[in-house]
Amino acid sequence: MAPFERSLEPAMYVCICKAVTDQDIRHAVACGADTFEAVQAQTGCSTCCGCCEGEARELVESAVASERRAAALPIAA
């Protein structure tokens, strides 16, 4: 994916304690965070009560996979 573009869809809060949304997590991945721990350090997600960790980890895995697929696509001339 080229530079991160915010979705037109409303953001979903993943971590209520730190007010981290799905878009925040995708943005962190687009900016180079490629593990849950890296996203956690950048966003603060799942550093308080931990209830969101499962959902956050799934979202990070999905976002990293999407970034890798986008990076593998050939660039059109």
CATH of the domain at 67: 1.10.10.1100
Residue 76: predicted pLDDT: 66
For residue 20, the Cα-to-chain-centroid distance in whole angstroms is: 10
Average pLDDT over residues 32-54: 97
Q: Identify whether 17 is part of a domain.
A: yes
CA dihedral (17, 54, 38, 26) positive or negative: negative
Assign 3 a pLDDT band (cuts: 50, 70, 90). Answer: very low
CA dihedral (62, 67, 73, 77) positive or negative: positive
pTM: 0.83
- Judged against a pLDDT cut of 90, whether residue 73 lies above it is answered with no
Average pLDDT over residues 7-14: 88
Question: Could you tell me the residue range of the domain that residue 26 belongs to?
Answer: 13-72
Q: Identify whether 46 is part of a domain.
A: yes
Q: Identify whether 5 is part of a domain.
A: no
Counted domains in the chain: 1
CA distance linking residue 64 with residue 38, whole number of Å? 12
Q: Identify whether 77 is part of a domain.
A: no
Q: Identify whether 8 is part of a domain.
A: no
Q: Identify whether 51 is part of a domain.
A: yes
pLDDT: which is higher, 18 or 4: 18
Q: Whats the size of the chain, residue-wise?
A: 77
Residue 5: predicted pLDDT: 57
Adjacent-strand bridge partners of 20: 15
